[in-house]
Chains A and B, each alone.
Chain A
Amino acid sequence: MKRWFVLMSAVIGMSSAMAIDTGKAFDDPELQARYEKLISEVRCLKCQNQSIKDSNVFLASDLRREIRRMIAEGKTDPEIIDFLVTRYGEFALYRPRASGKTLILWAAPFLLVLLGGFALFRVVRHRMSLPVDEAAGEGSTE
Chain B
Amino acid sequence: MNRSAIIILAVVVLFIGFLAVGLMRGDPRALPSPFIGKPAPRFELPMLKDAEATVGSGDLAGKVSLVNVWATWCAGCRQEHDFLLELEENNEIPIYGINWRDTRPKALQWIAQLGDPYVASGYDADGRVGIDWGVYGAPESFLVSGDGTVVHKHLGPLNRETWERDFVPLIEAGEITQ
Contacts and interface: CB of A to CB of B under 8 A. Distances in A.
B127 A87 contact: no
A63 B132 CA distance: 11
Main secondary structure of the interface of B (DSSP, over half): loop
Interface in A41-74: 45-46, 48, 58-59, 62-63, 66
Given A59-B136, A62-B130, A115 B34 contact: no
B8 interface: yes
Contacts of A123: 4
A62 B126 contact: yes
Contact of A46 (B11, B132, B137): B137
Interface string B126-153: 1110111111110000000000000000
Contact of B8 (A63, A85, A119, A126): A119
A58 B132 CA distance: 15
Contact of B131 (A63, A85, A89, A126): A63
A122 interface: yes
Contact of A89 (B29, B33, B41, B127): B33
A28 B128 CA distance: 26
B101 interface: yes
Nearest to B133: A87
B131 A66 contact: yes
B154 to A, nearest CB: 16
B24 interface: no
B7 A88 contact: no
Contacts of B130: 59, 62
A91 interface: yes
B32 interface: yes
B90 to A, nearest CB: 33
A21 to B, nearest CB: 15
B31 interface: yes
Contacts of B7: 115, 119
Interface of A: 45-46, 48, 58-59, 62-63, 66, 85-89, 91, 115, 119, 122-123, 126
Interface of B: 2, 4, 7-8, 11, 28-29, 31-34, 41, 101, 126-128, 130-137
Please give me the 8 A-B residue pairs with the lowest Cβ-Cβ distance, nearest first. A45-B136, A87-B134, A62-B127, A89-B34, A122-B4, A88-B134, A46-B136, A91-B31
